[in-house]
């Protein structure tokens, strides 16, 4: 039997209705299934709402826009209910009660409203929706109306809104709506990328009532006796030409077949599928209800965004829950979201890595365009694999534009991707993937770094100039300690991979090495670069210098700059921030997290933490979870727990004030890492065997999680006594 506490920790609820938090709740109440994401906007629609339906891989570069944008598809949600001629709306009539709940365990969004018309009739309206996990093209809705006082005349109207845009930017053309009986079909095409899109909505009313229609909607009109209930099931199927050349036919066939199955059958299958995912991805925390709910919420949002059947798409920084960052894919996927999937859902992790493999040509194109060899992955990526970072910002209020350098010089992403590939391989033992795909990513990005590293003959060392590390407050720096250290590690690993291939898969290995031009001379160069890579460090304290000259910057005491919501770069301005010792996010601390014991002794790690932690602004949502992970490993449990809870509640409490743009996906993945790699101390030893080095918060009675290790699922349970 499920305890009341456990039941509560599966639910995220809103009560009463707060119109001023409309955009925040739209994001956190997103439903999805790895193919689509549908924001939690209301069926009846509200002025200023951000109704958004997104599917992976549909991008378009509209005329006048700087870069491609993920496309907002026709909205399948609209259902309007009229009671005795009055249109139901939570700002009209009188709301006697309101509760909206996202059931994380079943991925079901439910809204219940007690509503009284101006004429005195009282009805209870229940709205339910889920994005089917078993039939990923389906969004399933049910709207129930119960007459509590009076026997009102009810009208239920349903439509598919084809007039959507991306915040005013039009990406769709050739829009057409057709209605046949109780079925609505909307077709469209993106105006530059030429993707075809179809949304088909099929309906079933629980009572006998003739269906009527006009040019855009279907509707039912009937009298509802007191204490009776009626339900309208609406099943929408979404297809694009990424799935086939006849999306309208596929959408119609799928919607009709699903309608025959009915709501309950579809929902039962959906719940059974979710039960399997939660079996391995759930983290059970005893003794902390807030932490338990928060980690289930963050895990849910990674799981609903992870593509299941398409290895040519990936998860954007805002998932499919909003239009922030235009749906682009960053390092957030490989270093923040992917580790949780590697350990708990390796099939999903493999899909995401295959996206990078399929887009190697784009990475090679970027390397060539910049005068380098190998594969240089783009900082921002979409469906093509080409670099999609804008070079300039939109005009500022004074008309000036800011140069955006991340696409040019935030090059550590090539090693971040290689890191994720190697992490996946070592956890899963998936040699087939690695030999056919993963090794090529690791090796060709190493080819890039071999051509990118610069030899300083005077100092007899290799350097990397004009870089942007994780701390994006400081641009175009020389010898980023993070980047240089990760590149050194990358080249060392590439040599290990090369030798492993020749030992265990010689024929395939030789073919790959020949194709990539990896000769003995190139390997000797990699070895030399790794040995002589310069990483700035204070020899007395062992503290790394974040980049050349960082120790000479102006230092601010950030404790004096509280309370504040704005990031320090916004307060100080772009130019002043460059001259100031204020850090956007985990940089040296990120290096400590990724390379762990290879970083240095515990004393050196503590010295680096003591120096850099007071300087970090946490201007990025990526930062708190990584700091929590490292703090837990260092035994700094008070700091670790505070940072963990901050990361866990960034979206739930809108701590950054920008959740309207979409979920902070990297923070969601980072929360799992803070628990698994930080508090639990889960990892692999030098032989690749599981190890656990726990540092639990003192009030946690136990933590239980599951991990796939070389094809076998393991259960790790730690109690306070451990």
Sign of the alpha-carbon torsion through 102, 106, 108, 111: negative
Q: What angle do CA 408, 475, 381 make, to 5 degrees?
A: 35
Q: Which residue has the tokens 């990892």?
A: 683
CA dihedral sign of residues 524, 526, 531, 534: positive
- Pick the catalytic residue from 128, 135, 380, 472: 472
- Among residues 134, 2, 104, 16, the alpha carbon closest in space to that of 668 is found at 104
**What is the number of H-type helices and E-type strands within the chain?**
23, 26
Tokens of 264: 């309950």
List the one residue out of 671, 666, 673 whose CA is nearest residue 707: 673
Closest CA to 420 of 519, 318, 342: 342
Exposed / middle / buried, residue 698 (Cβ in 10 Å: 0-12, 13-18, 19+): exposed
Q: Would residue 472 show up in a list of annotated catalytic residues for this protein?
A: yes
Cα 59 from chain centroid (whole Å)? 17
Give the number of residues written for the chain. 722
Closest to 353 in 3D by CA, of 342, 361, 363, 340: 342
* Number of Cβ atoms within 10 Å of the Cβ of 48: 7
Q: Which residues of 268-295 are buried (b: 16+ CB within 10 A; e: fewer)?
A: eebbebbeebbebbbbebeebeebbbbb
Looking up tokens 């933590």, which residue turns up?
Answer: 703
CA pair distance 92, 379, nearest whole angstrom = 47
What is d(CA 648, CA 292) in angstroms, rounded to the nearest whole number? 10
Question: Of 626, 624, 632, which is closest to residue 650 (Cα–Cα)?
Answer: 624
Sequence-distant (≥ 6) Cβ neighbours of residue 563 within 8 angstroms: none
Beta strands 11-14 and 94-103 are antiparallel
> Of all helices (H) and strands (E), which one includes residue 252?
helix 247-261
CA angle 92, 95, 99 (to 5 degrees): 130
Catalytic center residues = 472
């Amino acid at each position: 039997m499920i305890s009341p506490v456990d039941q509560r920790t599966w639910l995220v609820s809103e009560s009463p209705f707060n119109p001023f938090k409309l955009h925040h709740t739209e994001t956190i109440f997103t439903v999805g299934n790895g193919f689509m994401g549908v924001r939690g906007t209301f069926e009846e629609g509200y002025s200023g709402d951000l109704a958004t339906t997104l599917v992976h891989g549909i991008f378009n570069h509209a005329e006048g826009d700087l870069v491609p944008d993920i496309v907002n598809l026709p909205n399948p949600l609209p259902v309007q209910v009229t009671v005795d001629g009055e249109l139901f709306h939570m700002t009209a009539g009188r709301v006697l009660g309101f509760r909206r709940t996202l059931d994380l365990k079943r991925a079901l969004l439910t809204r219940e409203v007690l509503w009284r018309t101006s004429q005195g009739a009282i009805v209870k309206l229940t709205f339910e929706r889920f994005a089917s996990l078993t039939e990923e093209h389906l969004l399933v809705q049910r709207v129930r109306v119960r007459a509590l006082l009076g026997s009102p005349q009810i009208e239920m109207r349903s439509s598919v809104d084809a007039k959507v845009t991306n915040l005013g930017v039009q990406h769709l053309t050739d829009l057409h709506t057709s209605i046949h009986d109780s079925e609505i079909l909307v077709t469209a095409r993106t105006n530059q990328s030429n993707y075809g899109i179809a949304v088909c909505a099929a309906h079933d009313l629980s009572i006998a009532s003739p269906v009527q229609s006009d040019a855009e909607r279907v509707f039912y009109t009937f009298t509802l006796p007191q204490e009776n209930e009626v339900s309208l099931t609406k099943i929408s199927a979404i297809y694009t030409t990424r799935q086939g050349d006849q999306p309208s036919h596929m959408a119609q066939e799928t919607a009709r077949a699903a309608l025959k199955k009915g709501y309950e059958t579809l929902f039962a299958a959906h719940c059974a599928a979710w039960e399997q995912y939660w079996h391995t991805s759930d983290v059970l925390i005893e003794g902390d209800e807030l932490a338990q709910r928060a980690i289930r919420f963050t895990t849910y949002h990674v799981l609903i965004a992870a593509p299941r059947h398409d290895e040519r798409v990936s998860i954007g920084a805002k998932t499919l829950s909003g239009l922030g960052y235009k749906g682009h894919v960053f390092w957030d996927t490989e270093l923040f979201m992917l580790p949780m999937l590697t350990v708990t859902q390796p099939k999903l992790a493999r899909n995401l890595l295959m996206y990078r493999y399929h887009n190697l040509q784009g990475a090679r194109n970027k390397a060539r365009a910049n005068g380098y060899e190998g594969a240089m992955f783009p900082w921002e990526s979409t469906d093509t694999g080409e670099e999609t970072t804008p070079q300039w910002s939109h005009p500022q209020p004074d008309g000036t534009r800011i140069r955006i350098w991340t696409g040019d010089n935030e090059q550590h992403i090539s090693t971040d991707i290689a890191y994720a590939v190697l992490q996946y391989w070592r956890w899963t033992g998936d040699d087939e993937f690695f030999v056919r795909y993963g090794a090529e990513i690791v090796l060709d990005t190493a080819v890039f770094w071999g051509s990118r590293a610069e030899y300083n003959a005077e100092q007899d060392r290799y350097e990397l100039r004009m870089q942007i590390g994780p701390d994006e407050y400081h641009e175009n720096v020389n010898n980023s300690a993070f980047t240089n250290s990760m590149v050194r590690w990358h080249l060392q690993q590439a040599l290990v991979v090369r030798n492993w291939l020749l030992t265990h898969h010689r024929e395939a290995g030789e073919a790959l090495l020949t194709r990539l031009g990896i000769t003995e001379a190139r390997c000797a160069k990699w070895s030399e670069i790794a040995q002589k890579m310069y990483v700035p460090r204070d020899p007395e304290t062992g503290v790394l210098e974040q980049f050349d000259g960082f120790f000479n910057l102006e230092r601010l005491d950030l404790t004096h700059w509280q309370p504040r919501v704005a990031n320090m770069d916004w307060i100080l301005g772009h130019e002043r921030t460059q001259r100031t010792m204020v850090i956007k996010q985990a940089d040296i601390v990120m290096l400590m997290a990724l390379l762990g014991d290879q970083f240095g002794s515990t004393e050196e790690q503590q010295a680096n933490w003591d120096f850099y932690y007071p300087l970090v602004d946490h201007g990025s949502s990526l930062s708190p979870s990584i700091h929590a992970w490292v703090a837990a490993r260092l035994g700094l449990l008070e700091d670790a727990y505070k940072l963990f809870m901050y990361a866990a509640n960034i979206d739930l409490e809108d701590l950054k004030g920008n959740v309207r743009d979409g979920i902070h996906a990297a923070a969601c993945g980072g929360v799992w890492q803070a628990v698994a790699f930080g508090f639990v101390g889960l990892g692999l030893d030098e032989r690749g065997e599981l190890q656990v080095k726990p540092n639990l918060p003192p009030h946690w009675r136990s933590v239980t999680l599951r991990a796939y290790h070389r094809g076998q699922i393991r259960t790790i349970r730690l109690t306070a006594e451990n």
